[in-house]
Chain A
Amino acid sequence: GENVEQHPSTLSVQEGDSAVIKCTYSDSASNYFPWYKQELGKGPQLIIDIRSNVGEKKDQRIAVTLNKTAKHFSLHITETQPEDSAVYFCAATRDDKIIFGKGTRLHILP
């Protein structure tokens, strides 16, 4: 069946450095790719999304890139800050089906 693989499962970066999280999807018909951030004790919050007709999208320190041919998309966080520490989930959506990656726990080191 369809699945979304997310890597790495854990990522530690020095404060101020960049973090990159990668996801690969199997369903070539997927057309919408949201990213969610989940802080401890809270529900996932949408931080950025991209649709299949766009290759890259940026919102301040966060950017997402999509390679439809390779069926992978990535989240880039620049100038990381302590408040970026959280679990990040990618997802791939087609019609009414959404599949989530397993999540990446991001630690920002002081």
Chain B
Amino acid sequence: KAGVTQTPRYLIKTRGQQVTLSCSPISGHRSVSWYQQTPGQGLQFLFEYFSETQRNKGNFPGRFSGRQFSNSRSEMNVSTLELGDSALYLCASSLVAGDGNTIYFGEGSWLTVV
């Protein structure tokens, strides 16, 4: 069974640009969540989607947004990039949302903003 797949793995963007990251969950998983990982802040929750609806959102500015498609694939978008957005963005999937369901992470997308 294929794991969580994230694309692209690496990308470099310029300040002010926008970026879209893609995530394909494990087959059969309907919940997708996104995390930002930086050396200083650790793993920080961005948002979670289930059945194309955002269920939860972390404390990030409105520049960070996401969506989920009917096939459970998800995308996240960051607009007006800032240097501080440089991070590893991790997508995770689980069978259903909430209630202590195990989440499985992808390999992540490394974003560098210059």
Contacts and interface: CB of A to CB of B under 8 A. Distances in A.
Interface string B22-35: 00000000000000
A93 interface: yes
Interface-centre pick from A34, A44, A49 (highest chain B CB count, 10 A): A44
Interface residues of A, number: 24
B90 A44 contact: yes
Nearest to B31: A96
Contact of A97 (B56, B102, B106, B107): B56
A31 B105 contact: no
Main secondary structure of the interface of A (DSSP, over half): strand
Contacts of A93: 100
Interface-centre pick from B6, B42, B108 (highest chain A CB count, 10 A): B42
A96 B42 contact: no
Interface of A: 31-32, 34, 36, 41-46, 49, 51, 89, 93-103
25 contacts: A31-B100, A34-B102, A34-B103, A36-B105, A41-B107, A43-B4, A43-B6, A43-B90, A43-B108, A44-B43, A44-B90, A44-B105, A46-B104, A49-B102, A89-B42, A89-B43, A94-B100, A95-B98, A96-B56, A96-B98, A96-B99, A97-B56, A98-B45, A98-B103, A102-B42
